[in-house]
Structures are given as C-alpha cells and as structure tokens.
Amino acid sequence: MGGFWTIVARDLLLARRQGAATLLVVVFFAMTVTLFPLGIGPERVVLARIASGVVWVAALLATLIALDRMFQADHEDGTLEQLLLAGPALELVVLAKALAHWLSSGLPLILAAPVMALSLHMDARGLLVLLAAMGLGTPILSLVGAIGAALTVGLRRGGVLITLLVLPLYLPVLIFGVGGTEAAILDTSIRPHLLLLGAGLLGAIALTPWAAAAALRLALE
C-alpha cells in the first residue's frame, strides 16, 4: 500500500505545482452555474426548482476537464511504463490516480457547491442532501472517468472522445444525485437515492480499476 500513497502524494504535488488545473475546474463550474440565472431570469421559485440539476450538470462537465490528463502525461514521458515495472499493481496505480483526480477536482467542486447552490436559492435542507450526494457521487465520476482516460491514453486528441465515452456512464450519478435533492424538497425519503449512490461508489471502487488497468496494459504494448 506504500506505493499507493506515494503516487497519490506525487500527483497532488504535481497538481499543486500546476495550480491552474484545479482553479480552472472550479471557475468553469462557477461560470456554468452562473449562466442559468442569466439565461432563465432571476425568478426565485424557478431557480430553486432547477438548482440541484444545474449544480450537478455543471459538476459533471467540470470533472471532465482534467480527465484526459489523468494518465496521458505519465504515458507520454514514460512514467507509466516505469510504474508498470516498478510500481504497485496497475489496479492500485489507477485507484491512486483516480483518488488524486478526485482530491484535485471533485473535492474543490464540493467546497464550491454551497455558494453556487445558494446563489440559485436552494434551501438549507436541499443543500445538505446535495453535499452528501456529491460526496458519494463525485468519486464515482473520477473512477468511471479513469476508464475513459485509460482507453484514450494513446490518442493525441482524446479529450473529446473521453467526453463521448464517459458522459453516458455519468447519467446514473446525475439521476440519483438530483433525485436526492428533489426528494428533500418534496419531503419524501432521501435514503434510497443516497444508498444507491453509495452502492454505486462501492461498485466503482471494486470494478473500475480492473477495467482501466486492462486498458492501460493494452496501450503500453
């Protein structure tokens, strides 16, 4: 497990040195959310109604920004093949890189979400559920995204392809994520939505590293 944390720590250090990447994700998220009041109008009731959907869609798109670089930089400079030889099992490498991706783009989105949600007049209860759902849902985005990133690692312009590959797989997260907040607003049970997201997260942790590692092995040959 030592190798796992070594890779997480290095990726976070690289992300911090780059700096701009995380900032870009958060700014993109904030700008996308801000477009909606401008486009739809400042009506309180309407905005509160669509708030959770808007925040989730913006978060979905924002996590895509840094996705194509998840393995590509390491592939281009030969780090990936060295990790295959000298690192922990490739599945652990994938898990480490997905965790680093989440810490540098999913987590900042969760931290920025309250401000954005409040600007759309979401109520406090809805906000709490939104944050809980994002806490469970955004790691799934990083993990599933890792498969897309691994499949397109050798491609020069993989970014667009990743979007097409990964967005359909993001739909369940969007549906149950928004469903939770809807349930909170309509005062029905939020439990099933959060439980499904939690189950999705466990499933993603267990399955996606294998798929992404298999794709990376193909790319390395």
Partner 1 sequence: MTLAVEALACRRGERLVFEGLAFELPAGGALLLTGPNGSGKSTLLRCLATLLPVEAGQVRWAGVDIAADLDAYRRHLAYIGHLDAVKPLLTVRENLAFWARLAAAGDDAVEAALAALQIARLAEVPAARLSAGQRKRVALARPLLGNAALWLLDEPSVSLDADGTDRLAGLIEAHRAEGGMAIIATHLPLDLAAAETLRLGAA
Interface ranges with partner 1 (CB under 8 A): 2-3, 6-7, 10, 13-14, 17-18, 76-79, 81-88, 220-221
Q: What is the four-CA torsion angle of 6, 162, 33, 189, rounded to 10 degrees?
A: -80
Amino acid at 162: I
Q: Which is nearer to partner 1, 8 or 175 (CB)?
A: 8
Q: Which is nearer to partner 1, 34 or 79 (CB)?
A: 79
Shortest Å, Cβ 57 to partner 1: 32
Cα 149 to Cα 163, 177, 198, 215: the distances in Å are 10, 23, 23, 9
Shortest Å, Cβ 151 to partner 1: 19
Integer Cα distance of 171 and 187 in angstroms: 24
Q: Which is nearer to partner 1, 3 or 172 (CB)?
A: 3
Shortest Å, Cβ 13 to partner 1: 7
Q: Which is nearer to partner 1, 16 or 125 (CB)?
A: 16
Shortest Å, Cβ 128 to partner 1: 38
Determine whether 153 is exposed, middle or buried from the number of CB atoms within 10 Å of its CB (0-12, 13-18, 19+).
buried
